[in-house]
Structure 1
């Protein structure tokens, strides 16, 4: 009497030989290529969990206690969804663009928790456009960021595209309202 593994091995061998006789190498390569391309396109939109990374860096309560962050620190509460160079390090402030730049006409919005008063605020992240990239104080916090198929809640976009100059310089974070509690 044959074992389960012998039966499975025999079936797999017969099926493989049948496929090899009926399918050309070219069509097999095309099929493998389609699978690889489909996987490569699907991976960027899959959700992922960064909570362990946040705890390791001190954002989730597991790290060591630090002094309150300032406007030039990525840990500053209003930078919870920022992705870019902070204007406060580039000649502007957290709420204003540096001289020679103009705010983007479109922006993304995040909801950030202020630990000082325990309230949640709606923060508009506006890119400042018109000069080359600042290159100082890069932050990429992404708390609550959504995949790229929802443009209004996605921060990996050059928001300067709607301005006369699409050259990105830095990002401001302007409080636009208080989030209501449920």
Structure 2
């Protein structure tokens, strides 16, 4: 290829590019003149200001935002009570007879007599043996094996007596009989109150 051919090709290419640029320049010029002839500077500034104001107001529009929504409080699960005592049982107040652990208790509550749900009052000692019951906890829907121990060594507590008879068996089945005074083996057969200790899950 000669030098003159290369030069003529280069010239033709640059003329095409110039033609394309001229066409684009003319189109932009026509559009600008058309807009300028139909609107004033004041209206252009007014429209630009309106768009800026609208853009600033968009975030304040009322829309549902997932981050701002407060989650609904979960409702406590309702479990079907297996027994009449469990239907009225509660989990908050251990000094009331309908506390869920007291389904098979018979006596005064140590929680009302200076002790706790599972601890004897000062000056008394727990019996080495106990009777058992299976109580339903309405808080978690589980049934638990509960051991009841008498606290012995002082006169009976003068608080109201509670009688839970779930699973109560005759005296010839002493492990499930709540009428027996369980103070033998403590050195004093004087009954004071009863505790309830969770042994484990009954299921």
CA contact (8 A) 1:92 1:98 kept: yes
Q: Aligned partners of 2:136, 2:90: CA distance in 1, in Å?
A: 17
Query: Is residue 2:110 matched to residue 1:87?
Result: yes
- CA–CA separation in structure 1 for the residues paired with 2:195 and 2:86: 24
Corresponding position: 1:145 with 2:168: yes
What are the residue-to-residue correspondences of 1:127-146 with 2, within 5 Å?
127-146=150-169
1:161 to 170, 180, 184: 184
Structure 2 length normalisation: TM-score? 0.56
- Please name the residue that 1:70 is paired with: 93
Deviation at 1:67, TM superposition (A): 6.8
Inter-partner Cα distance in structure 2 for 1:84 and 1:78: 13
Contact 1:82 1:139 in 2 (8 A): yes
If asked which structure has higher relative contact order (CA below 8 Å, sep 6+), I would say 1
- The C-alpha deviation readout for 1:98-149, integer Å capped at 9, x for no partner, is 0000000111011100010000111010000100000203100111101122
Larger Rg, first or second structure (1 or 2): 2
- Alpha-carbon RMSD across the aligned residues, in angstroms, is 2.0
Contact 2:86 2:103 in 1 (8 A): no
TM-score by length of 1: 0.62
User: How many equivalent residue pairs?
Assistant: 121
Moved over 4 A (4+): 65-69
Give unpaired runs (5+ residues) of structure 1: 1-53
Q: 2:122 aligned to 81, 95, 99, which one? A: 99
